[in-house]
Amino acid sequence: MVVASAALALLAGCSAETQDEWRNLAMPDPATEQAQHIFELWRWSWVAAMATGVIVWGLILWVVVRYRRRHVDEIPVQTRYNLPLEIFYTVAPIVMVVVFFYHTINVQNAVLDDTEQDRTIEVVGQQWSWTFNHRLDGEDGPVVYTSGAGGNVPTLVLPVGETIQFNLHSPDVIHSFGIPAFLMKMDVIPGRVNHYEVTPDTEGTFVGKCYELCGTYHSRMLFNVEVVSAADYEQYLQDLEADGFVSEEPVLGGGQAYTQAGLDDESADESEGGAE
């Protein structure tokens, strides 16, 4: 109760957004079907941890009160071994780990399910921005693309209600492609193509970022995400095509130079001997 009222007092001074996060136990509202699975795992893990905590705290309190010293010259019973108790505290954690493991595997299988997709987007993480290639015809065929660089933060437009597969490419170092509201990220590794799927179920604007320290301007490797209606998405693809951002092959980074200022900064850093 003390904790609950302290938390409430704290919440009174917080924004609605922060309150949402508290209600979700520090998770953003899940914005994809896959994220729901992760969110459920997160929530029930907290329930299990809290139940365990309450039992343990209760037992500690009970022992402290029940077996407190009542007289100055009293010596408590000196218990050394208790086989049933030792078996219990070995078996109970094993059972808990098995249950957590079982649910984690189930959620992992649900989140990494790649059997059906409506769309494919070739995502390129390059030092230090992103290129998004939207496939026009299924898994192969021409793409329209948008690319960020320097202070130009790219936007990833997605259609609501459709299952989109992200194929992740890197021309240089390891990055990690993630969107907090989707409760998902995955490493982008040169020389291999990782992939995952999302089915956004909420229209809106979100943010995404690189989750793997990838060099000087890692912190600027941001992107916006806009989940729009299917019609708006079609329009977006047509606009990109009309503007000439169309290619027979996905644009896989490399040659996507950082701004000149950025490159100058980098060479300056190197000439200073490199603190890292």
Is residue 175 within the footprint of Cu ion (CB under 5 A)? Answer: yes
CB of 216 to Cu ion, least distance (A): 11
Interface residues for Cu ion in 176-235 (CB under 5 A)? Answer: 210, 214, 221
* Binding window for Cu ion (CB under 5 A); candidates: 23-31, 35-43, 98-106, 171-179: 171-179
- Minimum distance, C-beta of residue 221 to Cu ion, in the bound complex (Å): 4
Helices marked H in 67-148: 83-111
CB of 154 to Cu ion, least distance (A): 13
SS3 134: strand
Q: Which is nearer to Cu ion, 143 or 214 (CB)?
A: 214
Task: Pick between residue 169 and residue 175 the one whose CB is nearest to Cu ion.
Answer: 175
Question: Position 225: which residue type?
Answer: V
Q: Which helix (H) or strand (E) holds 49?
A: helix 33-66
Q: Are 176 and 193 in contact (CB under 8 A)?
A: no
Q: Please check whether residue 221 is in contact with residue 175, taking contact to mean a CB–CB distance below 8 angstroms.
A: yes
Q: How far is the CB of 133 from Cu ion (least distance, A)?
A: 17
Residue ranges of alpha helices (H) inside 206-273 are: 230-242, 260-271
Cβ closest to Cu ion, residue 197 vs residue 212 = 212
The SS3 of residue 143 is strand
Tell me which residues touch Cu ion (CB under 5 A).
175, 210, 214, 221
